[in-house]
A and B are shown apart, each in its own frame.
Chain A
Amino acid sequence: MTPLIDVCLVLVVILMVATPMAFQSSINVQKAAAAGKSADMMAKTERVEITILSADSVTVNQAPVRRERMELLVRPLLELSATKTVVVRCADQVPNGAFVNVLDEAKRCGAARIAVVGG
């Protein structure tokens, strides 16, 4: 009986320790200056520019759209893009949560590279 309890306790400890790690992730962002320069060199059709105006509203290639409907514009644009690069600009007072939400949405729409400009 004791080895069984031992193994069970070990499993509990491992799960307790590993749970917070399993839930942390990250989104890679390109260096703003370098990405900005290379993005400028790209043809307009090859990049998608997202500007976050507030927690709720963004513009996608200058077209204003609500954040939750952003996917409808971004996904077809990324399908046409060869480089699948998204250039993100963000207003200063936008919460980090909203900013990350847009990066996450862009990734889910198929963005391969995300460049953050405005630094």
Chain B
Amino acid sequence: MRLSGERHGMISKVNVVPLIDVCLVLVIILLVTAPMMVQSDLPVDLPEARTREAEDEVNVSITLSSNGDLAVDDLRVSRETLGATLQSRLAQKGNNSVLVVVRADSNAPYVAVRELLDQARAAGAERVAIATRQKTGVEQ
């Protein structure tokens, strides 16, 4: 018995290519968004800078928002619990020489940034960086 579709060259199998396409896209989106998920959603206006240094994909971020709120990665903390939270993050497996990125608002006073750098150092951070926003446009 011959199917009538076969005679006219009709494809009778289920086309799985679009499904694979969608699945791959989901994988890509998850891969791209995974590092962002660990950053706090506190409002921060990062200072602009032209230089760009290699930033590790895995890092611990300390966020200081424009209204003075603090967060370690995506976890909101108070000034009192910052040190302990940082210590526990840095004590986690694989975090012994992780980069600690201080994400401070551009209007925050330096004394607050210095305090965060001190806290990171006291918690055992070996490598510390200050987060910036990549300045784009024509070089002056």
User: Interface residues, chain A, CB within 8 Å of chain B?
Assistant: 2-3, 6, 10, 13-14, 17-18, 20-33, 52, 90-97, 99-101, 103-104, 107-108, 116, 118-119
Q: Which range contains the number of B residues in contact with the other chain?
A: 35 or more
Report how far A37 CA is from B54 CA in the complex, Å. 26
Residue of A nearest to B136 (CB): A23
What residues of B have a CB within 8 angstroms of the CB of A20 in the complex? 36
Report how far A14 CA is from B30 CA in the complex, Å. 10
- Pick the contact of B130: A2, A10, A33, A100 (CB < 8 A): A100
Contact between chains at A23 and B128 (CB < 8 Å): no
What residues of A have a CB within 8 angstroms of the CB of B110 in the complex? 52, 90-96, 99
Interface centre among B22, B99, B121, B132 (most CB of A within 10 A): B132
Given contacts A6-B21, A99-B110, could you give 5 more A-B pairs where the C-beta distance is less than 8 Å? A10-B25, A29-B129, A100-B132, A101-B48, A119-B114
Contact between chains at A27 and B114 (CB < 8 Å): no
